[in-house]
Amino acid sequence: MKTSSEPRHDWHIRPAQPSDAGPICRMIAELAEFEHLTHLMEVTPETLASHLFGATPAAEALVAEDRTRDILIGYALFFSTFSTFLGRPGLWLEDLYISPEYRAQGIGRALLTAYIKLAQERGCGRCEWSVLDWNKNAIALYRASGAEILSDWRIVRMDSEGIGRYLEGKS
């Protein structure tokens, strides 16, 4: 029996499974809209499933599920990295997303905690992620979690078109 001092959650965190690809894709679309990046979205449930659950998974995901409605309400998608300086693996958190109506209930912190626990269990030397400079709520969560926001590092990206141009010697 729960007492009034025990937290009561109608949601839980679990590893993603193949049937979650569609709902995760829906939330990725919501995230793309939130970040004003819908023009970059190409993922489909089928491509996501192949990369999360195929023969050689490129990434993993944890999901937050509303127990009363039996729907996914958040996810954390991450993949392995390696630090040459540490000589140890790491985890890169690509996305941490909570559906708007479920925010400010501790779900984001719970997903972040589950991700960080996995990194520790796997002997990772670090876990890392990026945050948009205008996403004040996420920045506050990460700072409150004790994470360091690096100001002297920049993300470098080459998209598929850039890769093609570079390999053709046109860069």
Q: Which residues are catalytic?
A: 142
Q: How far is CA 19 from CA 23, 94, 133, in A?
A: 8, 20, 33
Q: Tell me, what amino acid is at 27?
A: M
Question: Rounded to the nearest 5°, which phi and psi values hold at 83?
Answer: -105, 115
**Nearest by Cα to 13 from 50, 51, 61, 78:** 61
74 touches 34 (CB < 8 A): no
